[in-house]
Amino acid sequence: MTTYYVWMESPVGPLLLTSDGAALTGLYMNEHRHGPDGVGEGWVEDENAAPLPEAKRQLAAYFAGERTDFDLPLAAEGTVFQKKVWAELCRIPCGETISYGQLARRIGDPNASRAVGLANGKNPVSIVVPCHRVIGAGGKLIGYGGGLERKQKLLTHERDVLARRGGDGAQSATGGLFG
């Protein structure tokens, strides 16, 4: 199976976007825990492979403060439980945060906050599937595959965008794609 990829510069550093030719399969930061070890066999750099051009466009608009959600076809590989967690992540409005315990309750398993944290950490489509919006119970920033500094930058960016707009957070349109 071919994995198409492209690199993109962003305010949080270089981003690696991957695709199966139809859907976005990954979005990784440099030194991303649980990210790929690098470009491997069967990987083809192709900036025109679907949906990579649209993903780059939407990400550029996100970082420019012009959009707060994403509308991209996603095909993230994971367990049924992981996909359930990732779908719920997409329902967290831009600029807002919830705890791992709150996320566990939202998926109907209030005792699964640790498992939710592990699934959150395995999210292969960071930023688009906003795992950075999940924080510790006491409001502390914990557990982000791209690093806590990047998590803080993303949360600050979203809050700043919403403050400039004077509006509430918007929900991602990608939530139903993990269903």
Residue 100 lies in a domain: yes
Q: For 32-56, how does the pLDDT look when each residue is reduced to its tens digit (9 = 90+)?
A: 555 666 677 889 999 999 999 999 9
Residue with tokens 């993903």: 55
**Domain range spanning residue 137?**
80-177
Task: Based on the residue annotation, tell me whether 131 is a catalytic residue of this protein.
Answer: yes
Pull the structure tokens for residue 125: 């489509």
Q: Average pLDDT, stretch 47-74?
A: 97
pLDDT in tens, 80-112: 999 999 999 999 999 999 999 999 999 999 999
With respect to residue 73, please indicate whether it lies within any of the assigned structural domains. Answer: no
Catalytic residue among 24, 55, 72, 131: 131
Residue with tokens 């949080």: 12
Domain shared by 33 and 106, yes or no: no
Q: Dihedral of CA 154/156/162/165: which sign?
A: negative
Q: Are residues 92 and 26 in the same domain?
A: no
Clarify whether residues 86 and 167 are in a common domain.
yes
Do 146 and 84 reside in the same domain of the chain?
yes
Q: Reduced to 3 states, what is the DSSP secondary structure of residue 32?
A: coil
pLDDT (tens digit per residue) in 113-141: 999 999 998 999 999 999 999 998 888 88
Residue 145's pLDDT band (cuts 50, 70, 90): confident
